[in-house]
Amino acid sequence: MPIWSPEQYLTFAEWRTRPSRDLAQRVEVAQPQRIVDLGCGPGNSLEVCAECWPQASLLGLDSSAAMIKTAQTAYPHREWRVADISDWVQQSDGERFDIIFSSAALQWLDNHEALFPRLLDHLTPGGALAVQMPAYEAVPNRVMRELAQSNQWRRWFPEGRAKEWRSHELEFYYEALAPHASRLDLWATDYLQIMPDLGAIVEWYRGTGLRPYLEAITEESDRKRFLAEYAERLQPFYPESAVGGVLFPFRRLFIIAYLG
């Protein structure tokens, strides 16, 4: 589990929060009373829920104390909890929610085949599980994996990999959830994120996917070299546009499962 930095994560607050808005506006639950945001981070996605469903009482849950502290400072009137989603989902006698919302978090948990149906157990009848995750197959993810597998970096990655996140194709979630849900809404969106330069793309991943890799390298000089090599390998995929800026396509998966 990587250590999260709320400040670094919020560098791209607008691009990181927009998928929560796109997800929330498609959720069809009339007058939800109780909503939980799993992996709420610094509170940005929970605030989207608050704007969408002002009548609901909201709980933000995250395993990072630093994230919850930032969320609490920004939104002191809301309810926040430091907890691991995998522990939370095991509680069979826990509270039920009208909406279980989760944006850019569940990819950090394993065994989605069991996890997703189990999340439905925490819904009230008529409720919805609404999830957004990044797509797994993207050039920057592949490049960090290739670096960790290379002989040059074997010292820091003896198993040829870091603990990393994982999402699957939408068909996988259809098969996992269809036997349990009354209705499913599944889609993907390619966001064409406009960045000032390549360095901003590296910075984006320093806030998320690169964290387990950089944490595995405990020598500062090697960490810098890893980042420099990462940027060099990304360069051909993200050329500067003739009109300025660098286009950074980013695919996200959306899953809404309703409980009848």
DSSP of 179-227, one letter per residue? TT-SEEEEEEEEEEEEESSHHHHHHHHHTTTTHHHHHH---HHHHHHHH
Residue number with CB closer to ligand SAM (86 or 149): 86
Stretch that binds ligand SAM, among 59-67, 214-222, 226-234, 244-252 (CB under 6 A): 59-67
Q: Are 105 and 44 in contact (CB under 8 A)?
A: no
Residue burial 112-132, b: 16+ Cβ < 10 Å; e: rest: beeebbebbebbbeebbbbbb
Asked if 216 and 153 count as a contact pair (C-beta separation under 8 A), the reply is no
The residue among 7 and 175 lying less far from ligand SAM, judged by its C-beta, is 7
The reply on whether position 141 binds ligand SAM by CB under 6 A is no
64 binds ligand SAM (CB under 6 A): yes
Binding residue for ligand SAM, selected from 97, 108, 156, 226, defined by CB under 6 A: 108
Q: How far is the CB of 167 from ligand SAM (least distance, A)?
A: 12
Give the residue with the Cβ less far from ligand SAM, 85 or 130: 85
Alpha-carbon dihedral 174, 178, 180, 186, rounded to 10 degrees? 50
Closer to ligand SAM at the Cβ: 211 or 246? 211
Q: Which two tokens stand for residue 199?
A: 């360095």
Q: Which residues inside 70-89 make contact with ligand SAM, applying CB under 6 A?
A: 84-86
Which parts of this chain interact with ligand SAM (CB under 6 A)?
4, 16-17, 20, 39-41, 44-45, 62-64, 67, 84-86, 103-105, 108-109, 208
